[in-house]
């Protein structure tokens, strides 16, 4: 079964950091680009960042540039998102998504930024 | 980053046809098309249509996607109660080198 499982979310104070992880299984992870997409409570989907199978072509949405870093470890079938200088506007459910087709989504991990 | 434009809500009667639209520009929808995703309340999104308008396996034949110029469309025929959901379009913007979502359309089946 193709599966993506996110972890690492939680409650964090403004200005602090958090690292999200995504464990992939059921497909050849190193063959595919991967993405992070977020959804604030009651709001729409918002693309955050993505990278190619070999970690090339890293792209970020304007609102996270300089604060978030996406990475992957193909040996561990894992995707990561290091989030620094968090603000209350980063509060959202963060999804890990497979490929540029966006064909498989995890259940998401909730990040709440609050003092 | 400007997103894609979708009507916030559409309401249609049971067994009728709904057409959802997604408007972008020549750098995104008009360039490589748009994918469509469905999201039921409390669940992650599900891919309904690739950017080439093909359906993934397991997606109902009642759904079809198309594109005309800078506008992508998702047509759902024979509306069923389970079609009531939020629908999002998604495209690659070749000018900005980012992926952009539409704001989503809430489809209500009456």
Identify the CA nearest to B71 among candidates B25, B10, B14, B102: B25
**pLDDT band at residue B47, thresholds of 50, 70 and 90?**
very high
Tell me the pLDDT tens digit for each residue of A30-56. Answer: 999 999 999 999 999 999 999 999 999
Looking at residue A93, its pLDDT comes to 98
Indicate whether B109 pLDDT > 90: yes
Least CB–CB distance from A50: residue in B39, B86, B99: B99
Average pLDDT over residues A22-37: 97
Q: What is the 3-state secondary structure (H, E, C) of A7-34?
A: ECCEEECCCCCEEEEEEEECCCHHHCCE
How many Cβ contacts (< 8 angstroms) between chains A and B? 52
Tell me the pLDDT tens digit for each residue of B12-44. Answer: 999 999 999 999 999 999 998 999 999 999 999
Residue B50 C-alpha, separation from nearest chain A C-alpha, in angstroms:
6
* Beta-carbon separation of A45 and B1 below 8 A: no
B7 in contact with A, Cβ within 8 Å: no
Looking at residue A62, its pLDDT comes to 94
Interatomic CA distance for residues A67 and A81, integer angstroms: 10
Looking at residue B2, its pLDDT comes to 65
Query: Which chain B residues touch A107 with a CB distance below 8 Å?
Result: 44
Using CB atoms within 10 A of its CB, is residue B7 exposed (0-12), middle (13-18) or buried (19+)?
middle
Give the mean pLDDT of chain B.
95
Indicate whether B49 pLDDT > 60: yes
Residue A79 C-alpha, separation from nearest chain B C-alpha, in angstroms:
18
Query: Which chain A residues touch B56 with a CB distance below 8 Å?
Result: 103
Average pLDDT over residues A78-88: 98
B102 in contact with A, Cβ within 8 Å: yes
Residue A76 C-alpha, separation from nearest chain B C-alpha, in angstroms:
24
Least CB–CB distance from A101: residue in B44, B45, B47: B47
Indicate whether B99 pLDDT > 80: yes
Identify the CA nearest to A65 among candidates A52, A79, A53, A49: A49
Looking at residue A65, its pLDDT comes to 74
The answer to whether residues B74 and B88 touch, using CB atoms and an 8 Å cutoff, is no
């Amino acid at each position: 079964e193709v599966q993506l499982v996110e972890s690492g979310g939680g409650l964090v104070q403004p200005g602090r950091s958090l690292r999200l992880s995504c464990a992939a299984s059921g497909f050849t992870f190193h063959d595919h680009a991967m993405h992070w997409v977020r959804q604030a409570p009651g709001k729409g989907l918002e693309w955050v960042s993505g990278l190619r199978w070999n970690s090339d072509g890293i792209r970020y949405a304007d609102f996270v540039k300089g604060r978030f870093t996406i990475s992957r470890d193909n040996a561990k079938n894992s995707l990561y998102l290091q989030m620094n200088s968090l603000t209350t506007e980063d509060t959202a459910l963060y999804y890990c998504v497979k490929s540029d087709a966006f064909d498989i989504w995890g259940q998401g991990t909730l990040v709440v930024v609050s003092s | 980053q400007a997103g894609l434009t979708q009507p916030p809500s559409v309401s249609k009667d049971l067994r009728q046809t709904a057409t959802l639209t997604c408007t972008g520009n020549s750098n995104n929808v008009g360039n490589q098309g748009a994918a469509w995703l469905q999201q039921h309340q409390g669940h992650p999104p599900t891919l309904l249509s690739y950017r080439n308008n093909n359906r993934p396996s397991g997606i109902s034949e009642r759904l079809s996607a198309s594109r005309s110029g800078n506008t992508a469309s998702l047509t759902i025929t024979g509306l069923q109660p389970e079609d009531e959901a939020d629908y999002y379009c998604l495209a690659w913007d070749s000018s900005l080198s980012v992926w952009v979502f539409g704001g989503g359309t809430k489809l209500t089946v009456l």
